[in-house]
Amino acid sequence: MGTAGDGNMVYLLFGTLVGVVLGLNIAYLYHRFVAKRGRTEHKLRAEIRDLEKRLRKKDEYIAKAIKSVKEEGS
């Protein structure tokens, strides 16, 4: 014979197991979809910063070339 609280313990154990399984599934889905998107976005932002830096350097080189051509023409 079981005691009066045994039914409640079964529900508590079952609820805990369901919660753990759901939590693991949510963590897996988050890692699979959201985390990858964040990493990709971070990589793309770094590439954009690098391209902007290269574009600024190119503009500086062009300005220097124009300046030197003007000085040689004078």
| pLDDT per residue as tens digits for the range 4-54 | 667 888 899 999 999 999 999 999 998 888 777 778 888 999 999 999 999
Q: Which two tokens stand for residue 3?
A: 């005691």
The one-letter code for the residue type at 35 is: A
Residue 74 pLDDT exceeds 80: no
Q: How confident is the model at residue 2 (pLDDT cuts 50, 70, 90)?
A: low
Q: Which two tokens stand for residue 55?
A: 């574009």
Q: What is the pLDDT of residues 10-22, one digit of tens each?
A: 899 999 999 999 9
Buried b (16+ CB within 10 A) or exposed e, 1-34: eeeeeeeeeeeeeeeeeeeeeeeeeeeeeeeeee
